[in-house]
Amino acid sequence: MSALVRPTHGRMIGGVCAGLARRFGTSATTMRVIFLLSCLLPGPQFLLYIALWVLLPSEDKAPSTAW
């Protein structure tokens, strides 16, 4: 698993779904479909997306964890 960051390439809007997909080893399309389907359920999914967009660092600004 890689660090949870918003990638600079492969974004559609904020890069949250692409970052989550990279972190959990799925495709970005699959993560986007899961997010869209979850929006049909009651809950704060949209607010969570915005919070992750604000809180997750962008890939180019994230500190490197490589030695």
* In a domain? residue 65: no
* In a domain? residue 28: yes
What percent of the chain shows pLDDT beyond 90? 52
Residue 31 and residue 66: Cα distance in Å, rounded?
26
Whether the Cβ atoms of residue 52 and residue 16 lie closer than 8 Å to each other: yes
**Domain that residue 52 falls in:** 1-58
* In a domain? residue 67: no
Two tokens, residue 3: 């660090």
* In a domain? residue 21: yes
Record the pTM.
Answer: 0.78
Question: How many CA atoms does the CB half-sphere of 48 hold within 13 Å?
Answer: 10
* In a domain? residue 63: no
Question: What average pLDDT does range 11-40 have in this prediction?
Answer: 91
* In a domain? residue 29: yes
Give per-residue pLDDT as tens, 32-64.
Answer: 999 999 999 999 999 999 999 999 888 887 666
Q: How many residues does the chain have?
A: 67
Angle, CA of 9, 7 and 29, to the nearest 5°: 75
Based on the structure, what is the number of domains in the chain?
1
